[in-house]
Amino acid sequence: MFSWSFILYSLPILLAAYVIKQLLSKSDNIIKFQSKFFVFFFLSSTLAVICIPLFAFNPKNVKNCLYAASILKHITKIIGLQWILRRGHVLAEDRGCVIVANHQSMIDVLGMFNIWHVMVKCASIAKKELFYIWPFGLAAYLAGVVFIDRNSPKNSYNQLNATSEIMVKNKTKIWLFPEGTRNTKRGILTFRRGAFKVAIDAQVPIIPIVYSPYYFINREKKFFGKGRVIITCLDPIETKGLTLDDMDDLMKKVRDAMLECYNEVCKEVLSSLPADYPLAPA
């Protein structure tokens, strides 16, 4: 006799068996590829639930991010990544500044978590859409992350301007990804103007940070292997005496310095890989 209950009980078991088989497979597949992103999302959300009540006692304090990062950075070990910070003394100085970094993937935030103890006081800027990914978005808001509406330049600037006052007064660092979107290919996209306008208005230095390429992720081949990422801090670029008329030159100077560093570290990292490593297209 046909039984719906048998089917309802069997489907989850068959599905679980299929997933386990794919995870244990020696060949690359979509399940193995997405599993690392799932681990990142799942653990981040689980830890966010734990952090929310703690952050609620002192909401929007940037030091909440420091405490959260000390926990969340351990996700790195689970997904097999290693973050190497170079010239960290540049970040360690107690001063207000604007940090700009290249943006390759959602896992960039894991790199931030692993170096947050060096920055100590830092407020990250994120697109407002991330706020609605609860519970992570709520925890991030309570931790001091500033969410901006990229579709409204005026509102975005007003939010950044309010944050810059805290940056100067409390010697807080502001972290932005000036490309504005993730770049899944090699290189660095053109920059948006917000970070540089804030730096010039506040007359604070810009600290460029360069992530080495994520050679261990190949979306076309569904490959996500173990890997290491070198995070390089470049010399601060001063904005004292600059006006908004100097913005284009400043943006070019910062991007050129970051691109030169990126190309150098790209050669260093890729030259050590086996010839048959499944690199993503350049």
Question: Cα(259)–Cα(199) distance, rounded to whole angstroms?
Answer: 20
CB under 8 Å to 49, separation ≥6 — which residues? Answer: 135, 139
pLDDT-derived band at 266 (thresholds 50, 70, 90) equals very high
Q: What is the pLDDT of residue 103?
A: 93
Which residue would you say has higher pLDDT here, 100 or 127? Answer: 100
CATH number of 10-270: 3.40.1130
Q: Tens digit of pLDDT for each residue in 61-70?
A: 888 888 888 8
Q: Tens digit of pLDDT for each residue in 87-99?
A: 999 999 988 899 9
- Kindly state the tokens that stand for 209: 């940070």
Q: Tens digit of pLDDT for each residue in 212-254?
A: 999 999 888 888 888 999 999 999 999 999 999 999 999 999 9
Question: Cα(263)–Cα(282) distance, rounded to whole angstroms?
Answer: 12
Domain segments of the chain as ranges: 10-270
Query: What one-character-per-residue DSSP string does 123-161 give?
Result: EEEEEGGGGGSTTHHHHHHHTTPEEE-TT-HHHHHHHHH
Q: Tens digit of pLDDT for each residue in 8-58?
A: 767 777 777 756 666 666 777 688 888 888 888 888 888 888 888 888 888
pTM for the whole thing?
A: 0.87
* 174 bridge partner residues: 98, 123
